[in-house]
Homo-oligomer: A and B are copies of this chain.
Amino acid sequence: MREHEYLQSLHFNCIRLPDGAGVVNMSLPIVLAIGDREKEEIGASPDVALQGPDGAVLAILRRVEIYPHNKEERIARTWGTTAPGLPYVDEAIAQAGNWLIGGDLEVIEPIKYNDGLDHYRLSPQQLRNEFDKRGADAVFAFQLRNPVHNGHALLMNDTRRRLLEMGFKNPILLLHPLGGFTKADDVPLPVRMEQHSKVLEDGVLDPETTIVSIFPSPMHYAGPTEVQWHAKARINAGANFYIVGRDPAGMGHPTEKRDLYNPDHGKKVLSMAPGLEKLNILPFKVAAYDTVAKQMAFFDPSRSKDFLFISGTKMRAFAKSGENPPDGFMCPGGWKVLVDYYNSLQTEEAAVATV
């Protein structure tokens, strides 16, 4: 981003299009930080090559513009707090350079990660083509960064049912796991992708009406600000329905004993966001384990004591201890992937402890 885009993103969560053609939503700035030394090396050069870790030139930034990286302001306006301990701030902002460089990006070739998952990394255009090929007349997107349990599946399958009821003939699900940075206690991408494959293999989700693709963004955990980006990016990729739940992209406050964001604000802010007026938001119904029906079901407040909420923390505890979660929480194939992952972690931890 150039500075005028960066400022609009920070202040307005949207960017004006030229010639009064309205605005596009853009709640997170997409910027590249550089240090004093890089700034000096660039000097007055108009164009800058962007290299991958192996030195190959991947893109050229044309007619560059270098401007101050006002980190405190960027953090405060993006997260609504400057408390220490925000995962993405620690990962990508705190140590970054004091300048931002923007320009016209000329991509030479699509980025490859060479991690065996590149076939899942479809560009927005590739996704649109895929939806066309499948003859989708509605696309509903589900953002996730966790293993899929049967509660998620219930929600996605129920959404499809509702879209069919609304008259759509062929609604397609875009299952779009986040593939960039996540915090240390989230399950790593390769494990999640394997788990998602099992969920499709086991028929919990229908492979005929589901497209799995990796959303390459890093997780910001920026709540109401980030959920706009999550929705906007999926609209760009052809989705017209977006499923949003309680406290999307939220987390606990890093230094206080409370949620960082009001859990209702994500949905409210998304529903009012500039540039997203045409978005169809599907409110997330809460699913929990119904101990009577012995399956994941939509929570029924009239018999709340029958329901068990299985948090990520609880799920990790089950997997680590080798204990099985209640029947019907997750398909056995998917659960095994997680158990194996947590076992490998414990083996690693044990190895570290004995070294």
Q: Which residues of A contact B (CB under 8 A)?
A: 3-4, 7-8, 10-14, 16, 20, 23, 68, 70, 72-73, 76-77, 79-83, 224-225, 261-262, 265, 268-269, 272-274, 277
CB neighbours (8 Å) of A13 from chain B are 11-12
A8 contacts which of B20, B80, B272 (Cβ < 8 Å)? B272
Most B C-beta atoms less than 10 A away, residue of A12, A79, A274: A12
Q: Which residues of B contact A68 (CB under 8 A)?
A: 262
Partner of A16, one of B7, B83, B225, B272: B272
- Please give, as numbers and ranges, the residues of chain B lying within 8 Å of A262 by CB-CB distance: 68, 70
A sample of 21 inter-chain contacts (CB < 8 A) reads: A4-B272, A7-B224, A8-B272, A10-B80, A11-B13, A11-B273, A12-B13, A12-B14, A12-B274, A16-B274, A20-B277, A23-B274, A70-B80, A70-B262, A72-B80, A73-B81, A76-B77, A76-B81, A76-B82, A77-B77, A81-B82
| Structural contact, A12 and B81, CB atoms closer than 8 A | no
Q: Which B-chain residue is minimally distant from A272 (CB atoms)?
A: B8
Q: Is the CB of B272 within 8 A of A274?
A: no
Closest to A228 in B: B11
Measured CB to CB, the nearest residue on chain B to A274 is: B12
> Which residues of the partner chain B approach A79 to less than 8 Å between Cβ atoms?
76
Residues of B near A73 (CB, < 8 A) are 80-81, 261
Report B-chain residues with C-beta under 8 Å of the C-beta of A16.
272, 274
A260 to chain B, nearest CB (A): 9
- Complex Cα spacing A80 to B7, Å: 12
Given contacts A68-B262, A77-B77, A262-B70, are A269 and B82 in contact (CB under 8 A)?
Answer: no
CB-nearest residue of chain B relative to A67?
Answer: B262
A14 to B12, CA, bound (A): 8
Interface pair A12/B273, CB less than 8 Å apart: yes
Task: Specify which chain B residues have a CB less than 8 angstroms from the CB of A277 in the assembled complex.
Answer: 20
Nearest opposing residue in chain B for A277, CB measure: B20
With A11-B224, A77-B77 already in contact, 12 other A-B pairs whose C-beta atoms are closer than 8 Å: A3-B268, A7-B272, A11-B13, A11-B225, A11-B273, A12-B14, A12-B272, A12-B273, A12-B274, A70-B262, A76-B77, A274-B274
- Rounded to whole angstroms, the CA-CA distance of A104 and B83 in the bound complex is 35
Most buried by B among A4, A8, A77, A273: A77
Docked pose: A11 CA to B9 CA in angstroms: 10
* Contact between A14 and B82, CB atoms less than 8 A apart: no
The CA-CA distance from A38 to B77 in the complex, in Å, is 31
Q: Report chain B residues within 8 Å CB of A7.
A: 224, 265, 268-269, 272
Question: In the complex, what's the smallest C-beta–C-beta distance from A256 to chain B, in angstroms?
Answer: 9
Residues on B with beta carbons closer than 8 Å to the beta carbon of A268 = 3-4, 7
CB–CB B72/A14 < 8 A: no
CB pair A76–B80 under 8 Å, yes or no, is: yes
